[in-house]
Amino acid sequence: MVLAAAAPLIAPFTVDALDLAHRRGAPSAMHWFGTDELGRDLLTRVLFGARVSLAVGLVSAAVSVAIGVTIGATAGWAGRWLDALLMRITDAMLAVPRLPLLMIAAAVLAPNVALLIVMVGAAGWMETARVVRAEIQSIKTNDFVTAARAVGATSPRVVVRHVLPGVLPTAAVATTLAVGRGILLESALSFFGVGVQPPTASWGNMLYQAQTTMSSEPWLGIFPGAFIFLTVLCCNALGTALTDERREAVTSR
Amino acid sequence: MAFAARRLAQAVPLLLIISLLVFGLIHAAPGGPLSLYLDNPNVRPEDIARLRRAMGLDRPLGAQYVSWLVAFIRGDWGYSYADGRPVIQRMLERVPATLQLVGVSTLVAVLVSLVVGIAAALRRGADQAVSLLAVAGLSIPVFWFGLVLQLIFSNTLGWLPSSGRSSFAGGGLSDRLAHLVLPVMVLAVAHAAGWSRYLRGSIRVALAQPFANAARARGVTELRIVLRHALRLALLPFATVVLLDASIMASGAVVTESVFAWPGIGSLFTEALAKRDYTVLMAFLMCASVAVVTLSFLADVAVHALDPRTKGEH
């Protein structure tokens, strides 16, 4: 992440610099990751691609957790018909395969990066909503909630001040997992040519361009994919570790 | 039986919401489903207007939705924009290839996760390795994994074919099996990772129960306790998880089939996507969702029928 932020400073070459003398070059001392069909330095492009891919991952995670917490909290707090309606919508969204849904949406709307972020986020809130709803249902039976209502606090105030803070740890775990998923979804969409559009580099569209020349210039595909894998691995490992820790904290109580 | 009926009554509104979602998505395009022709200089505006009338796109959205849904239920899924053939026909001819790929992958993934899950439940050392592999399996970009396998096993080593379902010459059983290996590996790995982790968890829970201690006191070996007792408890929830992952399997099949040029429904979807063939895309999304809802319905009903603990639950 630090590397991505510092991309303009540490990148050995300018992002779009063409070097037609060194087209399709294998990794070398000068170009560590090799060069692509236009002679652009791959390391530079991977670093700049990281900014786009990580931005999509992080912001879409924030979007999906925000939607998930809102819907989950509303359903869990309101109960009755609103709960039933919101949960049916959640079930419906979970039943539609996520990637084909997003691929169609991206093909239909031809989004820019900002809209793409919103779309990826809007496709990933369901799991969070379910967990948050369950937590709210158990929190709302606590005495401190009854006490707050007894002294005359309004519903929104009780939810925001007293109930939502209890959901924070869950939301934190959901966010780390959502970052990884967002990066994977962006890369898959771009790989199919409906995500981030060239010349903007993202790890996914670098793979899209690399796939036809995988046998002659494998480095073009291997490096961006390895970066996706390692980044998502870190997010998921963090999320899983947090989940295990919480589960142990709960069982040892 | 009453449970099955009630569960079915829940599935119907669910499917209606999904159909609204799919319909809304396609019609959200600026210019609607015919937007493809808007940019084409060879298609005159009056042609578009004529097509619009012929396809009923000039009617109110609500009416269009109702007639689309009724036609869909009756099996009239419209015609492919790409080649004018009925969509249902194009999809049906691709079904066997997809069923073969998904079926074999699921079988392989289940077998692998049974072995790995049991090993991880029994040994601490194996346990940590499995946790790591499980996270890795969830994190690996499916398409990249496919490309790397092609690079290693087809291009470099030349052991296995990189694409298609069989060679041009037709080929016998061994040829078909060789074509299956790489796509199955890609599709199975992602699932085996999550499933073995889940199975390990439920075996662990079962092993902590009093009956396991009682068996240990009688001198039964740990492996035998797992195979004879713990697994019986763990298998039903495991089977449910396998069925409930159908949605993820559908996404995975789209990617895998496309990377390996496997002639199934998944690659039909990516072909249709490239041509903005909306009738095919809509039908695919509807079928995949209906399959997911059906499988989760079956999973619920099966658990209810097989697990004595759910008796009396309504």
What is the secondary structure of B17-48 as a DSSP string? HHHHHHHHHHHTSTTGGGHHHHT-TTS-HHHH
pLDDT of residue B4: 80
A49: tokens are 């691609």
A17: left (phi over 0), alpha (psi -120 to 50) or beta: beta
Most confidently predicted of A28-42, A60-74, B115-129: A60-74
Strand partners, B36: none
Asked if A29 reaches chain B (Cβ–Cβ under 8 Å), the answer is: no
Predicted confidence (pLDDT) per residue in B179-216, tens digit: 777 888 888 887 888 888 888 888 888 887 888 778 87
CB A42 within 8 A of CB A218: no
CB B136 within 8 A of CB B193: yes
Neighbours of A67 (CB within 10 A): 18
CB A99 within 8 A of CB A153: no
Helix (H, G, I), strand (E, B) or coil at B79: strand
Tokens 């639950």, residue?
Answer: B313
Torsion of CA B210, B214, B217, B218, to 10 degrees: -160
Asked if A156 reaches chain B (Cβ–Cβ under 8 Å), the answer is: no
Chain A residue closest to B275 (CA)?
A107
For residue B264, what is the enclosing H or E element? none
CB B141 within 8 A of CB A187: yes
Asked if A92 reaches chain B (Cβ–Cβ under 8 Å), the answer is: yes
pLDDT band at A168 (very low <50, low <70, confident <90, very high): confident
Predicted confidence (pLDDT) per residue in A212-233, tens digit: 666 666 666 677 777 778 888 8
CB B203 within 8 A of CB B234: yes
pLDDT higher than 80, residue B40: no
A81: tokens are 């018909």
Q: Could you give phi then psi for residue A35, rounded to 5 degrees?
A: -130, 160
Residues 15-54 (B) with a CB less than 8 A from some CB of A: 17-18, 21-22, 25-26, 28-29, 35
Nearest to A177 by CA among A252, A245, A241, A107: A241
Chain B residue closest to A238 (CA)?
B135
More confident residue, B159 or A165: A165
pLDDT higher than 60, residue A5: no
pLDDT higher than 60, residue B81: yes
Chain A residue closest to B14 (CA)?
A92
Residues 244-263 (B) with a CB less than 8 A from some CB of A: 247-248, 250-251, 254-255, 258-259
At A66, which amino acid appears?
Answer: A
Best mutation target, B139, B148, B204, B297, to test chain A (most A CBs within 10 A) = B139
Percentage of chain B lying above the pLDDT 70 cut: 83
pLDDT of residue A216: 63
Predicted confidence (pLDDT) per residue in B253-297, tens digit: 888 888 887 888 888 888 888 877 788 888 888 888 888 888 888
Q: What distance lies between CA B182 and its chain's CA centroid?
A: 17
Whether a cis peptide bond, with omega within 30° of 0, leads into A199 is yes
* Mean pLDDT for chain B overall: 78
Give the ipTM. Answer: 0.79
Kindly report the pTM of this predicted structure: 0.79
* CA atoms within a 13 Å half-sphere pointing along the CA-CB vector of A129: 27
Q: Could you give phi then psi for residue A217, rounded to 5 degrees?
A: -130, 70
Asked if B296 reaches chain A (Cβ–Cβ under 8 Å), the answer is: yes
Residues 168-197 (B) with a CB less than 8 A from some CB of A: none
Q: How far is B300 from chain A (nearest CA, A)?
A: 14
pLDDT of residue A32: 54
pLDDT higher than 50, residue A20: no
pLDDT higher than 60, residue A253: no
State the DSSP string of A15-45: TT---GGGTTPPS-SSSTT-B-TT--BHHHH
Asked if A73 reaches chain B (Cβ–Cβ under 8 Å), the answer is: no
